[in-house]
Every structure is written in C-alpha cells, then in structure tokens.
C-alpha cells in the first residue's frame, strides 16, 4: 500500500493506493495535513511507501511525521521517471508536471498524450507514443 502526497500552491492532495487503485483521496489546506496524516496512519496500517510531489511547502513537522513512519521519496528533477525528458531546461520543469507525465505513461502506454492541468496555473504538456516528453 502506498500514499501519494501532492503539495500544490492552493491545496494538498493525498491519495492512498493499493495495487494501482485509489482507495481514498483527500484534498485539504496545508494546516490540516498532520491531522489527516494521523487519520490515514490509523486507517491504513499497511502503507509502507510515500512519494511527495511538491510545488508548495509542507511544514517541517508534517515532513518529520511522514519520515518517522514511512519510506519516503521526494519527487525531483533527478528522480528516475518512465519517460525521456526533452524539455529545454529539464531541471526547471515543475515537479507537478513531471508527476502528470509519469502518470500518463502508466495510464496510456504507447500513445500520444496531451495533458492539460487546470490548477492554480493552466499548463499543457505533451508526451509522445515513444514516451518522450516534448514540453508544453
């Protein structure tokens, strides 16, 4: 069982996964993260691994809590991903966009995919059927 934490500019989203399926998801303000993490830990005892994708900020206490109980991977421009990043300046590609392109490879293998993310900022990203990211 896994937990995904997506820290955006406006909200923090958490999703509990088992065997590639979402069991539960949460959308909350950053001030409610620790309370929600405690609830998730009590409710889903089989979670071992957590990945954190962050364009916003988590409090140090939130990060410390997650690291105390789980194996944690912070998604960065250095994280191994299932696509070839051909973005002109790969280190400046937003972590949220890296996560979305990675998900598109999993959900739509061997297909061209246009990803439109209408969050705080609207972004467009394109992944080829050869799993090459061309930017947006």
Q: Which residues are catalytic?
A: 96
Distances in whole angstroms, Cα of residue 41 to Cα of each of 1, 32, 59, 86, 127:
11, 14, 18, 38, 35
Q: HSE, CB side, 13 Å, CA atoms: give it for residue 134.
A: 10
Element (H, E) at 69: helix 60-69
Report the alpha-carbon distance of residue 102 to residue 100 in Å, rounded.
5
Select from 125, 122, 106 the least CA-distant residue to 114: 125
């Amino acid at each position: 069982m896994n937990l995904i934490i997506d820290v955006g500019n406006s909200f923090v989203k958490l999703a509990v996964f088992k065997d590639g399926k979402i069991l539960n998801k949460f959308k909350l303000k950053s001030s409610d993260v620790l309370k929600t993490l405690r609830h998730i830990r009590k409710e889903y005892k089989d979670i071992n691994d957590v990945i954190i994708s962050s364009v916003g900020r988590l409090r140090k206490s939130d990060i410390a809590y997650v690291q105390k109980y789980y194996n944690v991977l912070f998604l960065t421009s250095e994280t191994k991903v299932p696509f070839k990043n051909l973005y002109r300046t790969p280190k400046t590609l937003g972590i949220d966009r890296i996560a979305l392109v990675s998900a598109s490879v999993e959900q739509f293998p061997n297909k061209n995919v246009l990803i439109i993310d209408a969050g705080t900022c609207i972004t467009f990203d394109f992944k080829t059927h050869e799993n090459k990211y061309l930017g947006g």
